[in-house]
DNA sequence: TTCCTTGCAAACGATTTGCATTGGA
DNA sequence: TCCAATGCAAATCGTTTGCAAGGAA
């Protein structure tokens, strides 16, 4: 992954490394504010955003645009695998969920069918499942 | 639908009516700025947002939180039916697409399966399909 | 030295709110 | 009359950017 940054002439600095590590440990995408909280002091929001945008440009993190005009960030799918999101309407948390491959194959087929119907060329998809998470039941 | 507002002690005013009408005519969700543009002058953004929040509280419109940190609004599903979104990565447009019921039944089953796996109680879902729309091909 | 990186503060764009005014029942 | 609705301007929130200082190659 470091190579990916070096190829773009940017460094894999401690600040960027910590962002990647925190995201790697998270069960789901995190907002900038959440990241900042977890990383702790000594990380100004502006630097955080700069790290995120460098990492995004390098294809290492991907933004997930969500509730109340705030983005959540997670590692790109080539790092953590294809997955979908469980959004808790109670506490607002967003967790990743991997979908068994026989389900995912059905999803692919459905997406392809819809694309054909609508003369739309699909290149990616996301399923957002809303409800109540285990903690809020 | 007017009843829905009256029940909450709010009126179905011309300003609110025009918002509903413009949304009803749109092939997909619209941002506040787009709504304002379509409605034309004489509709300050602040009033628009106020109309939207009243309509949202009444369950008549639903926000769709999307690209580049801006919300798009559409009529609630009980008014326009269950559907998913085609998001064009080229021009940024978002169009609704209704899914044939045999597909939708498969989707329901998949969602239920995932919910069980993750001890998550699903109450709704959305499939966002990214790609290129017919216009941008 | 030469870039890249960082921190701070200021700027920005979308959305919200305070307040005084208008308007419908 | 009374309360809801509106317009304007100012405030707020998440995010971005300009600029000068710090750091690695």
Fold type of domain B1-81: Arc Repressor Mutant, subunit A (1.10.10)
Distance between A124 CA and the closest CA of chain B, angstroms: 5
* pLDDT tens for each residue of chain A, 137 residues long: 889 999 999 999 999 999 999 999 999 999 999 999 999 878 999 999 999 999 999 999 999 876 666 789 999 999 999 999 998 888 888 899 999 999 999 999 999 999 999 999 999 999 999 899 999 87
Long-range Cβ pairs for the range B95-104 (8 Å, 24+): B95/A118, B95/A120, B95/B27, B95/B28, B95/B133, B96/B27, B96/B28, B96/B29, B97/A114, B97/A117, B97/A118, B97/A120, B97/B129, B99/A110, B99/A114, B99/B127, B100/A113, B100/A117, B103/A110, B103/A113, B103/A114
The answer to whether A118 contacts B97, with C-beta atoms less than 8 Å apart, is yes
pTM of the model: 0.87
- Report CA Rg, chain A: 17
Domain boundaries, chain A: 1-81, 82-137
| pLDDT at residue A103, as a whole number | 93
From A65, A115, A128, residue closest to B126, measured CB to CB: A128
Buried b (16+ CB within 10 A) or exposed e, A110-136: bbeebbeebebbbeebbbbbbbbbeee
Domain B82-137 carries which CATH code?
3.30.1490.190
């Amino acid at each position: 992954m470091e190579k990916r940054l070096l190829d773009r002439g940017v460094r894999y600095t401690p600040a960027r490394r910590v962002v990647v590590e925190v995201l790697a440990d998270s069960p789901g995408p995190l907002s900038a504010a959440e990241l900042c909280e977890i990383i702790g002091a000594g990380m100004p929001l502006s630097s955080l955003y700069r790290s995120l945008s460098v990492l995004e440009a390098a294809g290492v993190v991907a933004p997930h645009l969500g509730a109340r005009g705030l983005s959540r960030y997670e590692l790109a799918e080539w790092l953590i695998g294809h997955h979908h999101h469980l959004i808790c309407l109670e506490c607002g948390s967003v967790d990743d969920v991997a979908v068994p491959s026989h389900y995912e194959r059905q999803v692919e087929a459905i997406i392809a069918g819809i694309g054909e119907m609508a003369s739309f060329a699909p290149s990616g998809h996301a399923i957002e499942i809303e409800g109540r998470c285990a903690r809020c039941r």
